[in-house]
Amino acid sequence: MRLILTIILICSVSYLFGQKKVGKNKKAKKEPFHYLSHCKTNAEIEKLNIKLEIVYYLHMGEFNNQEQMDTSSNPELKPQEIIRVPIWQKERIGEYWGISNLIAPNAPDKAVGQIVFKFSKLNRDTFLVESFGVPNAMKGTFWAYEKGYAEFKPSDLIKLDCAHFLVGDKMEYRLFLPEGQKPCNGRDISTTVHAFELGGLIEPWGAISTTTYYAADGKILRSNKNNPVYLKRGDVKNPKYKTLFNNKM
């Protein structure tokens, strides 16, 4: 009888240890970092309870107007690609910073313009988007690397005295320049743009841009108000340029 009990005990212990070992082997591996790793999918955004975070993450990711280009006959429409990623999430906890990169199509390492945004809450349904110029030391592809901006801080940015409002609810928000405010200084964003006025709509599908750009003499270089640009948001789990950067900065 004692022999039988001993055998049962040994088998039970072996089974338990075997189960733990199998469970340990099933532990999910951490995915390698890519430049959209800190963005969120639409499904993840829908689960957020804080509106400021919803607004923030709706703006992050890859956006392009290729679908519009394929169906439009407007000769003035040009291909656009924008990559926006969160920055300073560990360095500035409780704050919401991101960098927007207007890139040449299929050339993410050649930014046409770069600008840093800070998102904050004004009231229940209104949010502030402050824009900052990017100094030469921060320009380039730092955004593509996990710790690309770790050595920089907000005080390094160029103050543009530029702010826009975002107003909306749930998963749809309208972006516009507050009444009485002049267009924002754009000289530190692009060599050709003297000032700009952001506008449009942001939602899970992507963004509808009605942005206007001005020359130094105040004349409009380009306006999307009457011909909006439809920028579809891509899959943040599958970045278009995932294999281009080695992420070893």
233-244 residue pLDDT tens: 999 999 999 888
CATH of residue 108: 2.40.128.590
Q: Is residue 238 part of a domain?
A: no
In whole angstroms, give the CA distance from residue 60 to residue 58: 6
Residue 177: pLDDT band (50, 70, 90) is very high
In whole angstroms, give the CA distance from residue 191 to residue 230: 24
Q: Is residue 49 part of a domain?
A: yes
Percent of the chain with pLDDT over 70: 86
Average pLDDT of the chain is: 87
In whole angstroms, give the CA distance from residue 124 to residue 132: 24
Whether 147 shows a pLDDT value over 50: the answer reads: yes
Contact 61, 100 (CB under 8 A): no
Q: Is residue 84 part of a domain?
A: yes
Q: Is residue 15 part of a domain?
A: no
Number of domains forming the structure of the chain: 1
Contact 59, 202 (CB under 8 A): yes
In whole angstroms, give the CA distance from residue 16 to residue 119: 51
Which residue's structure tokens are 């988007």?
129
State the average pLDDT over residues 203-209. 96
Q: Count other Cβ atoms within 10 Å, centred on residue 142.
A: 20
Q: Is residue 121 part of a domain?
A: yes
pLDDT at 25: 56
pLDDT at 189: 65
pLDDT at 16: 43
Structure tokens at 97: 């910073």
Q: Is residue 46 part of a domain?
A: yes
Contact 119, 128 (CB under 8 A): yes
Q: Is residue 35 part of a domain?
A: no
- 106-124 pLDDT, tens per residue? 899 888 889 999 999 999 9
Its domain, for residue 125, covers: 42-233
pLDDT at 5: 41
pLDDT at 215: 92
State the average pLDDT over residues 174-181. 93
Instruction: Give the pTM.
Output: 0.85
Contact 173, 164 (CB under 8 A): no
Specify the length of the chain in residues: 249
State the average pLDDT over residues 58-74. 95
In whole angstroms, give the CA distance from residue 196 to residue 186: 6
In whole angstroms, give the CA distance from residue 143 to residue 39: 12
- 35-59 pLDDT, tens per residue? 999 999 999 999 999 999 999 999 9
State the average pLDDT over residues 14-23. 47
Q: Is residue 97 part of a domain?
A: yes
Contact 131, 154 (CB under 8 A): no
Max distance between CA atoms of the chain, in angstroms, equals 100
In whole angstroms, give the CA distance from residue 101 to residue 117: 11
Which residue's structure tokens are 């240890």?
17
Whether 94 shows a pLDDT value over 80: the answer reads: yes
